[in-house]
Amino acid sequence: MNAPREAFIAPRDVAARMPIGGTIDTVMRELLPWASSFAVVPVSGFAVGAVAFGASGALYAGANLEFAGAPLSASVHAEQAVVANAWLRGEREIQALAVTATPCGHCRQFLNELASADRLAIFSAGRGPSTLAELLPASFGPRDLGVRAGLLEPADHRLAAPVDPDDALALAALGAADAGYAPYTRTYAGIALTDAAGNVVTGRYAECAAYNPSLPALQCALSAMTLRRLDTASITAAVMVEAAGPSSQRTAAAAALQAIAGIPLRYVAASPREDR
Ligand SMILES: [Zn+2]
């Protein structure tokens, strides 16, 4: 069956791909080359693809993303990409994940942030089915910090930001910040990017209990661009909306945008609404 152009397969089309008597992991494994085709790997040349199955019945693709001339920390792993893809498309829960290679330690920690972490099935090349709990024993996660929420649960932080109602790009960034996940610092952040063709892509900050596998808003948006097969070097404008707090992505995002597209970052500081 043909590979879809988008990094997403709607539930009815997933059902059509299911062989009689087959299981979803068969379909997911067959789709891994499609997911890998979205990889952009100018540094390593090592393409990784991931396919996620959502509670909605949809399938999502993700792939790794690297930037020549930028720090390795600007990279996005395929597992992060596929989680972000499902999240931006409104998926409420990821039930299973297939990956071309066994998830690295960084990604196991990132996946532990999912609301569904304790029931997430993982299928990786050359291995039988496993669970995240098997891959990440004696884990540290949100519950250890008293956080009950999880990544992919819908949110609306209702941030207040000085954004002109006609400023569509900043409004898109504010919407992304409102839906962000930052239960540890509450520095919810969103970014909106546009390119020469007028495409608008947003990204949300996804924080992690261990801090370092957090997915910055810019990386989330850049990954979303590559999953639409858009060139990140063609970005012409970028706006970040970020809630003030003990952490900030402003300088890292500005430096990365200069390295990737040679453009400045427009930054808008937000705050919680007083009526909360
Ligand atoms: Zn990884």
How buried is residue 134: exposed, middle or buried, by Cβ count under 10 Å (0-12/13-18/19+)?
exposed
Residue 154 falls inside a structural domain = no
| Residue 64 lies in domain | 8-145
Decide if 150 is inside a domain. no
pLDDT tens per residue across span 175-219? 999 999 999 999 999 999 999 999 999 999 999 999 999 999 999
Cβ-based burial of 218 (10 A; exposed 0-12, middle 13-18, buried ≥19):
buried
Domain C-terminal end among 145, 171, 201: 145
Question: What is the CA(73)–ligand 1 centre distance, in A?
Answer: 12
The answer as to whether 151 is a domain residue is no
108 C-alpha to ligand 1 centroid (Å): 7
- Distance of CA 31 from the midpoint of ligand 1 (Å): 19
- Ligand 1 centre to CA of 170 (Å) is 31
Is 60 inside a domain boundary? yes
- Domain shared by 206 and 260, yes or no: yes
- Residue 167 and residue 62 share a domain: no
Residue 260 placed within a domain? yes
Query: How far away, in angstroms, is 59 Cα from ligand 1 center?
Result: 20
Q: Token pair 């596998």 is at which residue?
A: 213
How far is ligand 1, taken at its centre, from the CA of residue 74, in Å?
Answer: 13
Do 176 and 131 share a structural domain? no
78 CA from centroid of ligand 1 (Å):
7
Specify the pLDDT at position 274.
62
Q: How confident is the model at residue 5 (pLDDT cuts 50, 70, 90)?
A: confident
In a domain, 1, yes or no: no
Whole-angstrom CA distances from 216 to 17, 223, 247 are 34, 11, 11
Whether residue 141 sits in one domain with residue 17: yes
Q: Say whether both 139 and 165 belong to one domain.
A: no
What's the domain count of the chain?
2
Q: Are residues 202 and 106 both part of a single domain?
A: no
Q: In this structure, are 139 and 239 located in the same domain? A: no
**pTM of the full structure:** 0.96
Q: How far is the CA of 225 from the centre of ligand 1 (A)?
A: 19
Averaged pLDDT for residues 14-42: 94
Residues 118 and 189 in one domain: no
Q: What CATH number does residue 89 fall under?
A: 3.40.140.10
What residues sit around ligand 1, an ion, with C-beta below 5 angstroms? 77, 104, 106-107
User: Is residue 2 domain-resident?
Assistant: no
Average pLDDT, the chain: 95
Instruction: Say if 152 falls within a structural domain.
Output: no
- Residue recorded with tokens 């801090």: 211
Verify that 220 and 265 share a domain, yes or no: yes
53 and 85 in a single domain? The answer is: yes
> Of 79, 113, 207, 242, which one is the catalytic site residue?
79
Report pLDDT for 4: 84
The 10s digit of each residue's pLDDT in 121-165 is: 999 987 888 999 999 999 999 999 999 889 999 999 999 999 999
Q: How far is the CA of 101 from the centre of ligand 1 (A)?
A: 9
- Strand 159-160: give its sheet, edge to edge: 159-160, 266-272, 235-243, 189-195, 200-204
What pLDDT sits at residue 252?
96
30 is catalytic: no
- 116 closest CA partner among 138, 93, 134: 93
Residues 204 and 239 placed together within one structural domain of the fold? yes
Co-location of 132 and 198 in the same domain: no
